[in-house]
Amino acid sequence: MFRLQRHVYRGFLFVAWCGGLMLFCLAVNAADHLEASNSLLPENHDPKAAGDRVLRETVTITGAKVKGAHDSDFIIAGGKAYVVFMANDRQAGEDPTWPFVYCALNVVDLATRQVEQSITFAAGEHEYSNAALPPGACFVPRILQHSATTLRCFFASEQPGIRQSQVWRIDYDVTKRDFAWRIDPVELETSTGAVPLQPQSFHDEATAHGLTRAPSDYGVYMIDSFKNFDGAWHAVLNNFPSGQLAWARLDENHERFTVLGNFFLPNDKKTTESAVERLPNGSWLAVSRQEDGDRNCLFSESPDGTRWKPHAARSVITNGTNSKTILHRFGDVYYLGWQEATQIDGVGRSVFNVDVSRDGRSWRRKYRFETPRSFQYPVFREHLGTIYFTVTQGDTDPSRKERIMFGVLE
């Protein structure tokens, strides 16, 4: 009997020791997360003051003729920022049913922040050397470095309710400072071969993976900026009206996308306009805009970029609202940007938060942009240790989609 009690006592001690060790490890892990997060910023850091400093130095890069502008993207090469955006010369805002929305490229000198060149490269019914665009809006341009001297721009040509939209590509020669003025359709690689990158083909690809939302005839974009991983360009393919998201790789010729994994689930939550980054352990993290429910941003994770968990909320984002998110990694620091539902002077999208982290899990607020001009759809790019950005702002229209701003984050 005594031996039995002794064995039980020893077993109890062993279990207690294991439990204590586990609690210790959890505490150390939590402390490591907290220390890593806190070490990024001083104790007395003021996010709003940091945001205000940045806002004071931003400059307008769209011309006086532009009445509406939105959804910019850019890259930096040779001391210049090459900024693409959609615009129109009639009214503030944007809409895929407006046939007068066009896509433009502005070249900004980094040293002076002056616009050196502005070219409209995509507009409805414009004739190129090999084809002509049909009537309709040209929407959501994106840009990447195609070669040492060539930049490749992507855009969607849309006419909702009339035809399938199509994603096109066109090249700009930085030495000639001009476009090639030839357009070619971008393709989507499927199990049955290459097809035009159009809403229906993108929707068909996803239905086999559980998508139950209705298809749309417009709205397919590379919503997040292109990001290079392991020598290949990647992008988030998004259909806004269908709430469809996919992580995709661009082929080496920069002509065709292959979907690596879909992450639109659950179907009862409409998620869209996502940003994706790879975490230090090699897994992937996506943060997405939510159109229904409380409109708070949601997260999805994947161990390999192929298998994605259904979206779920995280405590890092509270009181968010439906707008485009950002997620970038610069050096060993992650930047998570999201729109807050709080409004300044009753203006939508007037508060934008930027949180930073070293592990993608523990975050601290670095910037809080508060302005009645709005701060929406920013894009961050790092170049030689400096982080530059573009963002949509405005003065009077409720949408505040009136111009594109350029500035230095840090």
Task: Give the model's pLDDT for residue 20.
Answer: 47
pLDDT of 208:
86
* pLDDT surpassing 80 at residue 26: no
Q: In this predicted structure, what is the pLDDT of residue 28?
A: 39
Residue range 246-292, pLDDT digits in tens: 999 999 999 999 999 999 999 999 999 999 999 999 999 999 999 98
- Considering 5-9, 38-42, 292-296, the range whose residues carry the highest mean pLDDT is 292-296
Share of the chain above pLDDT 70, in %: 91
Q: Whole-angstrom Cα distance, residue 389 to residue 410? A: 10
**pLDDT tens readout for residues 324-369:** 999 999 999 999 999 999 999 999 999 999 999 999 999 999 999 9
* Mean pLDDT calculated for residue range 167-192: 95
What mean pLDDT is predicted for residues 80-85?
98
Output phi, psi for 229, to 5 deg. -130, 130
In the numeric block, which tokens belong to residue 310?
């259904």
Residue 14 scores a pLDDT above 50: no
Average pLDDT, the chain: 91
Q: State percent of the chain over pLDDT 90.
A: 87
> Per mean pLDDT, which range of 19-23, 58-62, 111-115, 128-132 is the poorest?
19-23
Q: What is the pLDDT of residues 139-173, one digit of tens each?
A: 999 999 999 999 999 999 999 999 999 999 999 99
Confidence check: pLDDT of 24 > 60: no
User: Whole-model pTM?
Assistant: 0.89
Which residues fall within 8 angstroms of residue 332, CB to CB, at 6 or more apart? 280, 358
- Band of residue 192 on the pLDDT scale cut at 50, 70, 90: confident
Residue 29 has pLDDT above 50, yes or no: no
Q: Largest alpha-carbon pair distance within the chain? A: 96
Contact 263, 308 (CB under 8 A): yes
Distances (CA, A) of 328 to 273, 357, 382: 14, 11, 10
pLDDT for position 190: 83
Inform me whether the pLDDT recorded for 5 exceeds 90: no
Q: Determine the pLDDT at residue 6.
A: 45
- In one-letter notation, the amino acid at residue 370 is E
State pLDDT tens for residues 218-231: 999 999 999 999 99
Q: How is domain 40-408 classified at the CATH fold level?
A: Neuraminidase (2.120.10)
Residue 86 CB coordination number (10 Å): 25
Give the pLDDT confidence score for residue 39 in this predicted structure.
Answer: 78
pLDDT digits (tens, 9 = 90+) for 97-125: 999 999 999 999 999 999 999 999 999 99
